[in-house]
Each structure stands twice: as C-alpha cells, then as structure tokens.
C-alpha cells in the first residue's frame, strides 16, 4: 500500500471523483495551473481541462454563490475556500442558501452535490487570519454536514464520501498536517462513513475526544497518561454535524469521565455542546466534571501561538485532574 501525505490523499480523492463523474468540478482561488496555495489540486486542470478545474476571482461569497447555482442545476461542485478564516464573506450563502435550499422548496430542488473544502487551524505561524477553527459556527446550521479528517487515510475516504453525499458538506482540512501527516492510503476508491465517530484506542479510566489535528496531540497526551497508569479511551469524532452521540455516550458510560479538546476558543466551542449532551445522557454515571481543553478566548496570537494551542501537556494535566477528582 503506498504512503501519502494528507495533501496527496486529498488530491487522489479529487482525481478519483473527477474521473468517475464528469459532473464533478473543482474551482477556487489559484486552484488551476498553480494547484492551490497548498497544491491540493495539482495537475487536475492539466488532466481534466479548464472547464472542470479552474480559478475564480478573489471573492468568497461569489465562489459559494456560483457553487450553489451549479449544484442546483445538477453539477457536483467542489469549491475551495483558500483559508477557513476567509469563509466568512460566504457565510450568508452557506447558512441562508446552501443549508436551506432543499427545505424552502420541499425538496423540489437542492444543492446536495456541493462540497466546500477549506484548510483550517493553527500550528503554522499564520497569525490572526490564517489560523482560526470556525467549525462551531456551522454546527449551528441544520442542513449542512461538517467533516474533519485526522490523517491521510481518513481524508481520502471522508472526502470521497462528502463529494457523493446527498447533502452539502463543509470539509475542514487541518493544514498543520498537510505534509506532516503521512500514512498508508489505498490507491483504489473507498469511502468512510460521515456521522460516525471512531474509537481509535480502548481504555477504562477516561474518554478523550477530539477531531482533526487535535487527534495527534491527544495521542501524545495519552502516551504520557498511560505511563502514569491511566487507561484512556480515545475517540475521533470525525463529523461535527451530525456528531455521533451514541458512540461517545457508550464510552462515557464505561469510563465515567470525559475530556474534549479543540483548537477553537472555549466560549461557544463545540466542546460545550458535547459536554451538555453527555451531561444530560450520562449524569448519574459521571465520576468527575467534564473537562474542556481548548484554545483561548482571544484572537489567535502570532508570537504566542504555542501558549494559545491546546497541546499534549495541557491535555495530560486535565486527564490527571479528572481522574484525581
């Protein structure tokens, strides 16, 4: 089985989807000959032509408005927003059009073929405007699906599922891992389920939950915890909307403890929604308060990025605190 980094896996998924269905189109800022700012779309224009892989103007609202129109007419657009920080000019199109198109028509028409790809998160010294994690904004929007892969294998399988899904999907790609995460990825076509979390490690003392780039951080924290005699169960949520409540509940009923971590700020972060749900469903089984290890409630700092990020040491300390409560 060949090894790929996350960018190669994403490019491979796009290649497979475009080869299979000539209605699949890729577009966004600099995605053509240049291959995108991170080269995720390298060689796709050369292979499939300028009609199916092409550059757009630097106008995010226009990119998604155009994508909505294409999807409404039967195309399968894969629109790239160059950085998740710049998705906000398109917020109205995504929240008021993409998410609601099917519902306002009673399913007479829809834009379910739309996938929005965008790199998110910190760890690359990108400062305020190239480091944000805005997944929670979109988790508040019925009609969307929100997916975040943790490694190349997951990225390929989940992206192919997203492109073929009957609902519009926002696909957040952890850019810190684009070249840092390398693993075995099948060359053939395969899909992974959207809306199903994955238990990546079984344990008995505490459930540790995350998604995207935080999964690599969790693994390092859990390694420290195991050396300290704490057995951790690790879950990759994979999908923020819908999120797999039942898998998390089943785990917490076993361990009695839960820690959730994400890069986004604490207030209004998706960890709060998870904590509220688990408290409702597992209250009598909880051995300690649910822990959240998150980014800070401040604009993302450039020079203090390491202090801002929820790293493995912060998670390890929270694990110990929970178990010792």
Half-sphere exposure of 258 (CA within 13 A, CB side): 28
Catalytic residues: 60, 130
Q: How many CB atoms lie within 10 A of CB 311?
A: 17
SS3 164: helix
Residue 298 burial by Cβ neighbours in a 10 Å radius (0-12, 13-18, 19+): exposed
Separation of CA 244 from chain center: 14
Strand partners, 281: none
What is the signed CA dihedral for 273, 317, 247, 275, rounded to 10 degrees?
-20
CB-CB contact of 174 with 150 (8 Å): yes
Distance CA 73, CA 52 (A): 15
Among the listed residues 307, 313, 324, 270, the one whose alpha carbon sits nearest the alpha carbon of residue 292: 270
Overall residue count recorded for the chain in this entry: 325
Phi, psi of 263 (to 5 degrees): -75, -25
Query: b or e along 198-236 (b: 16 or more beta carbons within 10 Å of the residue's beta carbon)?
Result: beeeebebbbbbbbbbbbbbbbebbebbeeeebebbbbb
Distance CA 115, CA 210 (A): 23
């Amino acid at each position: 089985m060949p090894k790929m980094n996350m960018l190669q896996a994403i490019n491979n998924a796009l290649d497979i989807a475009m080869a299979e269905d000539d209605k699949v189109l890729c577009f966004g800022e600099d995605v053509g000959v240049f291959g995108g700012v991170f080269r995720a779309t390298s060689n796709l224009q050369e292979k499939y032509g300028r009609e199916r892989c092409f550059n757009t103007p630097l106008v995010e609202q226009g990119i998604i408005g155009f994508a909505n129109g294409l999807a409404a007419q039967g195309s399968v657009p894969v629109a790239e927003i160059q950085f998740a920080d710049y998705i906000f000019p398109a917020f109205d199109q995504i929240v008021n059009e993409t998410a609601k198109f099917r519902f306002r028509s009673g399913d007479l028409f829809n834009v379910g073929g739309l996938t929005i790809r965008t790199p998110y998160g910190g760890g690359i010294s990108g400062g305020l405007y190239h480091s944000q994690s805005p997944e929670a904004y979109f988790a508040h929007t019925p009609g969307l699906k929100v997916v975040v892969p943790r490694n190349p294998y997951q990225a390929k399988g989940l992206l192919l599922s997203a492109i073929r899904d009957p609902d519009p999907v926002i696909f957040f790609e952890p850019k810190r891992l684009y070249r840092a995460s390398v693993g075995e990825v099948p060359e053939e076509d395969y899909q992974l389920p959207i809306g199903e979390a994955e238990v990546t490690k079984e344990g008995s003392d505490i459930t540790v939950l995350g998604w995207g780039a935080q999964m690599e951080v969790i693994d390092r924290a859990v390694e420290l915890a195991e050396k300290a005699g704490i057995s951790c169960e690790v879950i990759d949520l994979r999908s923020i909307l819908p999120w797999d409540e039942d898998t998390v509940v089943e785990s917490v009923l076993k361990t009695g403890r839960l820690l959730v971590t994400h890069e986004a700020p604490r207030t209004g972060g998706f960890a709060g929604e998870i904590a509220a749900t688990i408290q409702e469903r597992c209250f009598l089984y909880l051995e300690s308060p649910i822990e959240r290890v998150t980014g800070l409630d401040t604009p993302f700092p450039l020079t203090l990025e390491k202090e801002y990020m929820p790293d493995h040491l912060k998670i390890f300390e929270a694990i110990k605190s929970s178990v010792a409560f």
